[in-house]
């Protein structure tokens, strides 16, 4: 994908190819997992062992949750996502006739990156933040948020579906 502030870090062990996962590093996925794990284990331990148990449980849960969150973020293969959208973008109803992949590429990348950070919310819940971030994230793209939204949403949903296939349960809470 083209250079932008969302450019993936390169993995020198694979000849410079992007690392699997969202742009090579996953502090957001790790942090989200840590927060969720800390709250869940802290609440459980607190209900059994009282306030001190809640604090200890939160620390243990944060570590476990951080590892789980990073695992989910690592499951996002940005190279595969780019390939998928490069091959399939032209059939999407929002793509203007004659447009190239490069026109929509920043929106697809933004959708993938945003899911890695905000996937614990629905796209609709995250959209106000996404709309605010688009101007910074779009790099040289000429797409307005109104024009980029559907592509970003498509990429978000594609990643969500892929994560759900490898995660037990209804991880995106869409009933599928």
Residue range of the domain that includes 161: 77-166
CA contacts within 13 A on the Cβ side of 128:
1
**pTM listed for this prediction:** 0.60
Catalogue the long-range contacts made by 168-171 (C-beta closer than 8 Å, 24 or more residues apart): 171/72
Segment 29-87, tens digit of pLDDT: 545 555 555 555 555 555 676 777 666 666 665 555 544 455 556 768 889 999 999 99
Sign of the Cα torsion 100, 106, 107, 112 reads positive
Looking at the structure of the chain, the number of domains it has is 2
End-to-end alpha-carbon separation of the chain, Å?
Answer: 31
Q: Do 52 and 98 lie in a common domain?
A: no
Tokens 């059994």: give the residue.
Answer: 48
Whether 123 has a pLDDT exceeding 90, the answer reads yes
Q: Do 34 and 57 lie in a common domain?
A: yes
Q: Do 82 and 144 lie in a common domain?
A: yes
Band (pLDDT 50/70/90 cuts) for residue 126 is very high
Domain presence at residue 3:
no
Q: Do 159 and 116 lie in a common domain?
A: yes
């Amino acid at each position: 994908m083209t250079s932008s502030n969302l450019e993936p870090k390169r993995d020198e062990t694979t000849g410079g190819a992007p690392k699997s996962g969202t742009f090579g590093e996953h502090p957001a996925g790790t942090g989200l997992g840590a927060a969720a794990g800390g709250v869940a284990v802290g609440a459980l331990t607190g209900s059994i062992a009282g306030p001190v148990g809640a604090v200890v449980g939160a620390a243990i849960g944060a570590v476990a949750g951080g590892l789980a969150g990073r695992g989910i973020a690592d499951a996002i293969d940005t190279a595969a996502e780019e390939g998928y959208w490069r091959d399939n973008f032209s059939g999407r109803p929002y793509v203007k006739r004659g447009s190239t992949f490069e026109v929509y590429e920043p929106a697809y990348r933004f959708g993938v990156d945003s899911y890695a950070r905000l996937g614990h919310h629905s796209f609709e819940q995250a959209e106000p933040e996404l709309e605010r971030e688009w101007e910074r994230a779009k790099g040289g793209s000429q797409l307005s948020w109104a024009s980029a939204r559907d592509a970003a949403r498509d990429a978000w949903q594609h990643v969500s579906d892929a994560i759900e296939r490898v995660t037990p349960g209804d991880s995106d809470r869409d009933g599928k």
